[in-house]
């Protein structure tokens, strides 16, 4: 892309706000804006990056709104092109009308993510930073927000780029060796080559450790609360959410269907599901509710299996779907009331958490257990980097090739070393966006909202 790309325009703010922002970028942005926004002077004659007050008019010179406009000339703008933002009063009709007039004046309507795509193509950001923009907008927790912000600052891209440049240097020397195989030149020693490749392997291996965190922070965790009727599942749902979301009664089987809510626990985005109590029933509606409870267990990454300690624990047991045992966290409710069974003997070697969903006793211990189950460790530290599935795929490809390159390097088979290095470099180039295919870019930026 170059400075002659045509102007695009889109609404950059959500509906319902006090102010709406319309963003434009491209080679003919000034000619487009000056047909619609008018002040004492043309916008390009005012100091750059300063808000200026003017009026908006339609094609028939009818006034539309008082508005502020700011001009940011390329290459020192978000997209690297000439860019203008127009700030109007909020309101769907005003915003849509102004956008319509800008399109009539010669702008093209921006596609999803096209502003950020232009920023990437014009070298303002790498592809990992572009993805971080989307992650930042979609962040469901403060931890996810922090991880996206760090990636937007280039922490991931810088670490990968360092190894990318080093591998390119190694490949360059390997190719020269093949051209001058009989020459006794000042080649880098095998020990140094080995050390450089090993450093890249260690770097990529370390980055892959953040895949689990990345998946959780981006996609969240589906947590299902299951148990027998009247075990206190809806009360626990309300306790976790911090408000009365589910109806709670002493009547067994109050919840007949799944109830789903979004929340955050200890920085973890949680898709919370309250389910119908599981028991044998002749009631057709209740049977459907029980079937959905089993479906939720199949789909959930974490299952809170709730028991009522005031009732016989044996009769509250049911079969867990195969392969889901590791996802179970056993919770014993109504700790504020006498127990009817020996809890320790019932669970034997199983770990459980004792709570009272009514008064909140044991809730912090439950959150500790959920956090440990999700992260697979205690006292989890906020990750510096959170890679996504695309990053992980390219890193694993690079690692495979680099390990093979190490093996053939010892045999001085430089042709095979070069092949392995090229594939590894290509994978990392795709990660950074240096050699990425157009359809991959379309997929990545197609997930963005229009105007970003």
Q: How confident is the model at residue 285 (pLDDT cuts 50, 70, 90)?
A: low
Query: Is 450 part of any domain?
Result: no
* Residue 309 counted as domain residue: yes
Residue 69: per-residue pLDDT: 96
The domain that holds 119 is classified in CATH as 3.30.1360.120
Claim to verify: residue 364 and residue 233 sit in the same structural domain: yes
Residue 132 in domain: no
Query: Which residue among 95, 126, 157 closes a domain?
Result: 126
Taking the C-alpha atoms of 382, 385, 387 and 391 in order, what is their torsion angle to the nearest 10 degrees? Answer: -170
| pLDDT above 50 for 1 | no
Query: 135 in a domain, yes or no?
Result: no
Same domain assignment for residues 204 and 223: no
d(CA 385, CA 156): 6
| Domain shared by 92 and 30, yes or no | yes
Per-residue pLDDT, averaged over 61-65, amounts to: 94
State the residue for tokens 């926004």: 37
**Does 451 reside within a domain?**
no
**Domain enclosing residue 198, as ranges:** 140-210+387-433
Band of pLDDT at residue 53, cut at 50, 70 and 90: very high
| Dihedral sign for Cα atoms in the order 259, 265, 268, 269 | positive
What is the rounded distance in angstroms from the CA atom of residue 451 to the CA atom of residue 444?
15
Looking at the structure, tell me whether residues 75 and 178 fall in a common domain.
no
Q: Is residue 449 part of a domain?
A: no
| pLDDT value for 313 | 85
pLDDT band at residue 25, thresholds of 50, 70 and 90? very high
The total number of structural domains in the chain stands at: 3
CATH code where residue 176 lies: 1.20.120.430
pTM over 0.75, yes/no: yes
Cα 328 to the center of its chain, rounded Å: 25
* Residue 168 and residue 62 share a domain: no
Helices (H), 233-283: 233-241
Specify the CATH number for the domain of residue 239.
3.40.50.300
What is the per-residue pLDDT across 111-162, written as a single tens digit (0 to 9) for each? 999 999 999 999 999 999 999 998 988 888 888 899 999 999 999 999 999 9
Provide the pLDDT for residue 242: 81
Residue 124: predicted pLDDT: 93
Q: 391 and 365, same structural domain?
A: no
| 42 lies in the same domain as 104 | yes
* CA separation for the pair 392, 128 (Å, rounded): 12
Q: Verify that 280 and 350 share a domain, yes or no.
A: yes
> Residue 119: phi, psi to the nearest 5?
-60, -40
Instruction: Give tens-digit pLDDT for 194-205.
Output: 899 999 999 999
pLDDT for 128 equals 93
Residues 168 and 72 in one domain: no
447 in a domain, yes or no?
Answer: no
In a domain, 55, yes or no: yes
Domain-terminating residue out of 69, 94, 126: 126
Ranges 20-34, 234-248, 338-352, 437-451, most confident = 20-34
Judged against a pLDDT cut of 60, whether residue 50 lies above it is answered with yes
Kindly list the strands in the beta sheet with 259-265, ordered across the sheet, starting from the edge strand earlier in the chain: 259-265, 268-274, 221-227, 302-308, 328-333, 352-354
Question: Are 84 and 114 members of one domain?
Answer: yes
Long-range contacts of 188-194 (CB under 8 A, 24+ apart): 190/409, 190/410, 193/409, 194/406, 194/409
Query: Residue 387: exposed, middle, or buried by beta-carbon count in 10 A (0-12, 13-18, 19+)?
Result: buried
Whether 179 and 119 map to the same domain: the answer is: no
Based on the fold, state whether residues 151 and 223 are members of the same structural domain: no
Of 85, 102, 126, the position where a domain reaches its end is 126
Instruction: Output 100 or 1, whichever has higher pLDDT.
Output: 100
Give the lowest-confidence range in 116-125, 178-187, 246-255, 330-339: 246-255
């Amino acid at each position: 892309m170059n400075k002659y790309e045509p102007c695009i325009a889109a609404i950059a703010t959500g509906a319902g706000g006090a102010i709406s922002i319309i963003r434009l970028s491209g080679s003919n942005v000034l000619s487009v804006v000056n047909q619609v926004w008018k002040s004492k002077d043309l916008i390009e004659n005012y100091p750059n990056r300063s808000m200026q007050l003017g009026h908006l008019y339609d094609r028939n010179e009818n006034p539309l709104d008082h508005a502020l406009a700011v001009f940011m000339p390329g290459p020192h703008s978000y997209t690297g092109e000439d860019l203008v933002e127009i700030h109007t009063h909020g309101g769907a009709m005003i915003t849509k009308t102004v956008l319509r007039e800008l399109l009539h004046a010669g702008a093209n309507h921006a596609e999803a993510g096209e502003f950020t795509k232009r920023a990437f193509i014009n070298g303002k950001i790498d592809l990992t930073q572009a993805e971080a923009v989307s992650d930042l907008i979609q962040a469901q927790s403060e931890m996810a927000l922090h991880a996206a912000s760090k990636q937007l600052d280039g922490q991931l891209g810088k670490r990968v780029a360092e190894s990318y440049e080093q591998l390119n240097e190694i490949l360059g020397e390997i190719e020269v060796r093949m051209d001058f195989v009989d020459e006794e030149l000042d080649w880098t020693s095998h020990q140094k080559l080995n050390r450089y490749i090993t450093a890249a392997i260690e770097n990529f291996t370390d980055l892959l450790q953040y895949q689990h965190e990345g998946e959780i922070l981006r996609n969240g965790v589906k947590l299902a609360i299951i148990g027998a009727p009247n075990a206190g599942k809806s009360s626990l749902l309300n306790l976790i959410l911090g408000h009365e979301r589910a109806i709670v009664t002493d009547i067994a089987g109050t919840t007949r269907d799944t109830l789903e809510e979004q929340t955050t626990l200890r920085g973890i985005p949680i898709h919370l599901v309250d389910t119908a109590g599981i028991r044998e029933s002749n009631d057709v509606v209740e049977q459907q509710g029980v079937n959905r409870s089993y479906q939720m267990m199949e789909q959930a990454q974490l299952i809170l299996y709730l028991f009522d300690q005031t009732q016989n624990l044996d009769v509250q047991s049911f079969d867990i779907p195969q392969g889901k045992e590791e996802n179970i966290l056993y919770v014993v409710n109504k700790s504020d009331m006498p127990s009817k069974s020996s809890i320790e003997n019932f669970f034997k070697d199983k770990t459980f958490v004792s709570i009272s969903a009514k008064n909140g006793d044991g809730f912090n211990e439950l959150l500790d257990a959920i956090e440990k189950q999700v992260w697979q460790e205690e006292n989890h530290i906020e990750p510096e980097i959170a890679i996504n599935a695309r990053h992980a795929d390219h890193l694993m490809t690079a690692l495979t090739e680099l390990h093979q390159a190490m093996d053939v390097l010892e045999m001085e088979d430089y042709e095979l070393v070069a092949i392995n290095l090229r594939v590894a470099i290509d994978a990392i180039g795709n990660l950074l966006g240096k050699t990425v295919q157009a359809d991959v870019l379309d997929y990545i930026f197609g997930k963005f909202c229009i105007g970003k």
